[in-house]
Amino acid sequence: MDIEIATIGGYEEVGRQMTAVRAGDDIVIFDMGLNLSKVLIHDNIQTEGMHSLDLIDMGAIPDDRIMSDLDGDVAAIVPTHGHLDHIGAISKLAHRYDAPVVGTPFTIELVKDQVDDEQKFGFDNDLVKMSAGATMPIGDEGCELEFVNVTHSIIQAINPVLHTPEGAIIYGLDKRMDHTPVIGDPIDMDRFREIGREGVLCYIEDCTNANKKGRTPSENVAREHLRDTLYSMEDYDGGIVATTFASHIARVKSMIEFSRDIGRTPILLGRSMEKYSGTAKRMGVDFPDVEMVGYRRSIDQTLERIMNEGKENFLPVVTGHQGEPRALLTRMARGETPYDLDAGDKVVFSARVIPEPTNEGQRYQAEKLLGMQGARVYDDIHVSGHLCREGHYTMLDALQPEHLIPAHQNMSGFSGYVDLASDRGYKLGRDLHVTNNGNIIDLV
């Protein structure tokens, strides 16, 4: 059976992921993501009404025109998890393919939200929910799609595996190796080892942290760090405000729990806080009951209520961990909300600054503004969602793949992975395929 892999997006950047695998007459697409930084750099761009080709020209979504070079029919579009750099282009590209979108239940709910907002294109692809551990047949030449449970900074992440007569093709984006996640099951290393013994033709790897030594800690480590930080504030009788990634359901859950432990009522504030946590709650994820407020006018009314009832009784969990100019924390820092920050009030960033000049500048500005009001900043209470080098070593050991394709980075970001793979006996151009966006690798 012919096997080809088209590396469409996310091979020159972290963002706009998209990869297609052709096995005989059948094609499976993994991820259709958005590169948000290419959108945010322009002021006030609303992508909902934009045409795909304009977004491709901006570098915001994958250039999928290379798909016409693959001789087969798309059987499934498979987003690995609900981050925008993996699902954000589905509303712009999926309608071109007569194929279902197959993902875990939480991911599919987020895809639904996203295609509901779309204004330019209709969307009538079937949405199919499949949980980790399950499989589905692909085409009629004996291929099968399997979801292996992995752990990442969003719940219900999986690594899809396409089983072909020539061996397994594993799409390894995005994950860390977490044996004590706060929500959900640990990474299924037993299954990866089993697939490794059966034979892996190709492994596509998440190289986000390939240049970092050591091991990425468990979410449980960030949880303990957060517990220590919030417990240290138990006797403080002023304002405490916390922020994190709205999509990071496990972290938001920890915030809610520790807030209550120190005698404060948590309230989730901001449109994306309400969207992600509300979806998790509706889907029966192990998530506490909590007040959530999404719209600006209601948010301001809630902040007014907090001030009236005494801000020492509350812990607002807000959007704005990257200092985004329109997010709630930044508005609070600018004094544009009814919430008054006083000298000594605490602001907890349970997030890392995404290392990108726009983010760094905005976050710097937000912290300066908070400081000017006298607020004290606690930052970097976080662990990464991506494997570091020893995780990559362990995955190679478990899978023993014939071919490797580094992904989810740019050329310099791949270098640590190329070193590691070369040490393990892989050879550039033979079985280690460093590539760009828009290439097709002929495997069999």
Return residues touching Zn ion (CB under 5 A): 83, 174
**Residue number, 209 or 302, with CB nearest to Zn ion:** 209
Of the pair 385, 401, the CB lying nearest Zn ion is at: 385
Q: Which is nearer to Zn ion, 4 or 85 (CB)?
A: 85
Tokens standing for residue 123: 């969307």
CB of 36 to Zn ion, least distance (A): 12
Using the minimum distance from each CB to Zn ion, give the nearer residue, 4 or 174. Answer: 174
How far is it, in rounded angstroms, from Cα 274 to Cα 272? 5
- Min dist. Cβ of residue 208 to Zn ion (A): 8
Length of the chain: 444
Shortest distance in whole angstroms from residue 82 CB to Zn ion: 8
Q: Which residue has the tokens 């995404």?
A: 354
Residue 216 CB, nearest approach to Zn ion (Å): 13
Cβ-based nearer residue to Zn ion, 36 or 115: 36
Q: Give me the phi and psi of 296, to 5 degrees please.
A: -60, -45
8-state DSSP, 353: -
C-beta of 83 vs 92, nearer to Zn ion: 83
Least distance (Å) from Zn ion to the CB of residue 295? 27
- Beta-ladder partners of 405: 204
Whole-number minimum distance, CB 125 to Zn ion, in Å? 22
CB 11 within 8 A of CB 58: no
Minimum Å gap between C-beta 174 and Zn ion is: 4
Q: Which is nearer to Zn ion, 83 or 331 (CB)?
A: 83
Taking alpha carbons only, the member of 155, 204, 173, 108 closest to residue 432 is 204
Distance CA 410, CA 390 (A): 20
| Cβ proximity to Zn ion, 83 vs 363, nearer residue | 83
Q: Measured from the CB atom, is 174 or 178 closer to Zn ion? A: 174
Write out the E strands in 165-264. Answer: 167-172, 200-206, 240-243
Nearest to 128 by CA among 147, 143, 155: 147
Helix (H) or strand (E) holding 125: none
- Edge-first strand listing for the sheet containing 439-442: 127-129, 101-103, 73-78, 26-30, 18-23, 3-9, 439-442
Q: Nearer to Zn ion by C-beta: 185 or 237?
A: 185
Q: Rounded to an integer, what distance in angstroms lies between the CA atom of residue 122 and that of residue 302? A: 37
Nearer to Zn ion, 89 or 332 (CB): 89
Gap between the Cα atoms of 330 and 320, Å rounded: 6
Phi first, then psi: what are they for 235, rounded to 5°? -90, 0
Q: How far is the CB of 272 from Zn ion (least distance, A)?
A: 15
**Least distance to Zn ion from the beta carbon of 143, Å?**
26
Instruction: Quickly list DSSP for 13-71.
Output: SSSS-EEEEEETTEEEEE-----HHHHHTSTT--GGG--HHHHHHTTSS--GGGGGGS-
Task: Say what the alpha-carbon torsion angle 175, 176, 177, 178 is, to the nearest 10 degrees.
Answer: -100
Q: Which of 428, 429, 431, 423 is nearest to 401 (CA)?
A: 431
Token digits of residue 108: 């599919």
Compute the least distance from the CB of residue 83 to Zn ion, in Å.
4
